[in-house]
Structure formats: structure tokens, C-alpha cells
Amino acid sequence: MKHRIIGITILLLLNGSFLMAQDPVYYRSVIRELSSKKYEGRSDFGNGDKKAAKFLVREFKKMEGIEPALKDGYLQPFSYGVNVFHKKMEMSIDGEDLEPGRDFIVREFSPSVKGSYALAYIAEEDHHPERLLPLLETGKFKDSYIVLNFNLIYKYLGIAPEVLYSMPLAGLIMVRDGQPSFFKSRSGKRQPIPVIWASPQFPKNAKKITVRFESRWIENYSSSNVIARLPGLGREDSCIVFIAHYDHLGHFGKDVYYPGANDNASGTAFLLTLAGYFAKPENRPDLTYIFIAAAAEENNLLGSTFYTQNPVVPLEKTLQVINLDMVADNGDRLFVETGPEGEASLLKFKELNNRLNLFGTIEQHPLSNDSDHYPFAMRKVPALYIMVDGDAYSVYHTPLDDYHHIYTNRYSDLFRLVTEFARIF
């Protein structure tokens, strides 16, 4: 009995020391900070991303042992062209105003437009491209906004039906099943007509639409990856990269901003807690660890792509990339992705999870260009995408992705899984 009590005491001390090594209070405070209004959605509105980058630099500087990864400091700047909506985004149907960000969004590649137009509803049987495209090519709707069913268009033409954008139309509306999500992934190019995603409450037999959409093209918008380095104690020339994008969607019009608490203030906060944990003398790794808070992920992975073209450690010396994206959720399931080079380490990740009994399901999805692991995988670097599934995903890319819609109950389990996984290399 005495030996059993001693064993239980040791186990409790070990568990307690692990829990103390984490910092869930700090984790939540960073999510709250980055998703607050002062950062304007961490994108191009009001230099919100630049303010967030400065905050991250200050946090890294507080950690003893963490160093700037670049010759000139923590920032790795780059620039890109982007279409933005920073002013009026107004729409009414038969004189009734719709709420931007809730009732509708305008796709990120849309031009400015102002005026009133007829509405034309396309019958469901006419959504198939063999019927739809010839119908639109007639020019019958050149002065109208046509209304389509999003699900049918997605079924037949995919998520980016660009063939429709060059049709002789005044505009295009696709009615979705839920609150329309805003994106910036295709904001690097303007299309000829405005494309609108509308909520299920969009009227089914309206006659007239009045719009005022104000877009602006920024030729060379400047942003920066924030990169920190923790030198290894032994194999300093090889590294593991931890990455999480800190940017989000910014604004849709002057008044609607996207806090991006789960996507991806959560991954950024997790990144900072990892850096703080591994920087402690008792946790210092043998390998060098690189911590990248990536910019412009929402703009089609521009920050991570730039890093892979300008790495601070050669990619051939990067043994593993761990991408943390949307981790403040409450589910018992992890979504993961990797490329062919990462399959062996993913198997170890799954085995480790089973041995520690942390998450009930690890569901592997095909490799896709949906987050910052992708540019690494395309260059044959083992790269693992990690997302916690759960209820927070229901507000994905909407203004409701705020601090009040996140969950941190799986933080400890994921922290343990990621830190133990990093030690196997």
C-alpha cells in the first residue's frame, strides 16, 4: 500500500509539473488580445496585421532563450496586390436593406459598382452547365443580377466557377444554406462582375436589387512573417518548424470586421505557448526550433509560400513542419493533412495519440492548399496540418468567430500531443 501511495504521488507530481509547464491562462489571453477590435481583423484594414506583428514580436522578446530568426530581427517582409472592401458595402432588395456580413457578402475579387438592377431567378433544372451557359451567353441577362443555388453550382462547376464571371451579366448571386462566409484567397485578382453569396433568407421572388459596393486595388501591400528561433543544444543545423498564421480577414466594408479568434488567433497563441515552454532550460530541445507566425495565409498562403522560397534554415534540413490552424475547439476529433513525405511521421503522431489516449479520432484528409503546411509539402518537406474539430467551426469565416465562440477544453491534450510528438525527431 505504501509503495502504491508513493507511485500515485509521483504520478500526480508529474502530471502537475506538466500542467504547470503549459500556460492556458496566457493562451486564452493571447486569443482575446488578437481577436480584439484594435487589430481590425489582422489584415489590410487599418494596418491590423502590422499591429498584430508588433504584438507578436514583443511577446517573443519576453522569452529568455528565444532569438530573432533573421539578420534584421523577427520580421520577414513581403508585398502583394490585393482587392479590398474598406468603405460602403450596401445592398437592398425591393427597398429592404440587407445586413452585410450576415445576410450577404461580396466575393473578394468583385469590382466597385453602384446602381439598381432587375433580378432574374434561374430555375433549378437550368443550373446544369449544358443548359446554364448557353442561356447566359444569349445576353438576355446583361442588365440583371441572376440568382443561383450555390449547392448546385458547386456540384457542377466547383467552388470557383470562373466561367460564370465573364458572362454578359450585371451581377451574380448564389444563395447558400447558412450564413455566408467571407474569404480573401482570391483577392489577388479582380473579376469583371460582382459575385455575391447570400443567406437562405434571400427573397425567392424579388424584382429589384440596389447595390453600392466600393472596392479598391492596393498594388503593393506590405506584410511580414514573424519568425523566432530557439537554437538546438545538439543538432543545431537541423530544425523543426512550428507555424501558425496570425492574419485573418480584416474588414468587409467599413463597419463589419472579422475577429478570427479560432481562425487563427488560437493557433498563434498555441505557437507562443510552445515557444515559451521549449525555451525553459528543462525543456530545451536538441534540435533547433523555428516558430513562424505567418502572414497573408488568407490571401492564398502568401506568407508561408514566401518563407519556403526564403527559409531561415534550408528546407532539406527541416525535419518536420507542424501547422496549427483553428485549435480552440471542443471536439474529440483532430483533422490532419500531410504529403507523401510526411506519412511516416503522421503514423507516429497517431500511435502517440493512441498511447496517450488524448483524442478519440484523428481523421486524415487529402493534402490540399487550405493552410500553411501546403507550400512545404509541395517542396517535399514533411508537413503536418492539425485542426481541432468541434462547435466553433459553425462560425468559420463569419463575424461570430470571436472570443465568446471558442473552446479551450482541448488545449492541454493538444499541447501534450504536440510537445511529445516534437521530441521523437
Return d(Cα 192, Cα 107) in angstroms, integer: 12
| pLDDT, position 23 | 84
Return d(Cα 69, Cα 275) in angstroms, integer: 13
Return d(Cα 141, Cα 146) in angstroms, integer: 7
pLDDT higher than 70, residue 259: yes
Return d(Cα 263, Cα 265) in angstroms, integer: 6
pLDDT higher than 70, residue 296: yes
| pLDDT, position 180 | 96
Return d(Cα 403, Cα 411) in angstroms, integer: 15
| pLDDT, position 209 | 98
Please write the tens of the pLDDT for every residue from 205-222: 999 999 999 999 999 999
Closest residue by Cα to residue 174 from 253, 104, 97, 92: 104
Percent over 70 (pLDDT), the chain: 95
| pLDDT, position 308 | 98
pLDDT higher than 60, residue 6: no
> How large is the C-alpha radius of gyration of the chain?
24
Please write the tens of the pLDDT for every residue from 364-383: 999 999 999 999 999 999 99
Closest residue by Cα to residue 126 from 114, 113, 135: 135
β-pair type (333-337, 383-388): antiparallel
Output the average pLDDT for the chain. Answer: 94
Measured in whole angstroms, the distance separating CA 110 from the mean position of its chain's CA atoms is 21
Q: Tell me, what amino acid is at 241?
A: V
For residue 334, give the C-alpha cell.
Answer: 483532430
| pLDDT, position 7 | 44
Please write the tens of the pLDDT for every residue from 67-105: 999 999 999 999 999 999 999 999 999 999 999 999 999
For residue 77, give the C-alpha cell.
Answer: 517582409
pLDDT higher than 90, residue 349: yes
| pLDDT, position 237 | 82
| pLDDT, position 22 | 60
Please write the tens of the pLDDT for every residue from 19-72: 445 689 999 999 999 999 999 999 999 999 999 999 999 999 999 999 999 999
Please write the tens of the pLDDT for every residue from 220-253: 999 999 999 999 998 878 999 999 999 999 999 9
Using pLDDT thresholds of 50, 70 and 90, give the confidence band for residue 11: very low
Domain ranges of the chain: 23-83+219-422, 88-213
pLDDT higher than 70, residue 318: yes
Summarize the confidence of residues 299-316 as an average pLDDT. Answer: 98
pTM of the full predicted structure?
A: 0.93
pLDDT higher than 50, residue 15: no
Which DSSP letter does residue 391 get?
A: G
| pLDDT, position 18 | 43
Summarize the confidence of residues 272-288 as an average pLDDT. Answer: 97
Please write the tens of the pLDDT for every residue from 167-208: 999 999 999 999 999 999 999 999 999 999 999 999 999 999
Return d(Cα 259, Cα 255) in angstroms, integer: 12
Using pLDDT thresholds of 50, 70 and 90, give the confidence band for residue 3: very low
**Cβ atoms 178, 200 nearer than 8 A:** yes
Using pLDDT thresholds of 50, 70 and 90, give the confidence band for residue 314: very high
Closest residue by Cα to residue 27 from 35, 39, 37, 16: 35
Q: What top-level class would CATH report for the domain 88-213?
A: alpha beta
Summarize the confidence of residues 124-128 as an average pLDDT. Answer: 97
Q: CATH homologous superfamily for 23-83+219-422? A: Zn peptidases (3.40.630.10)
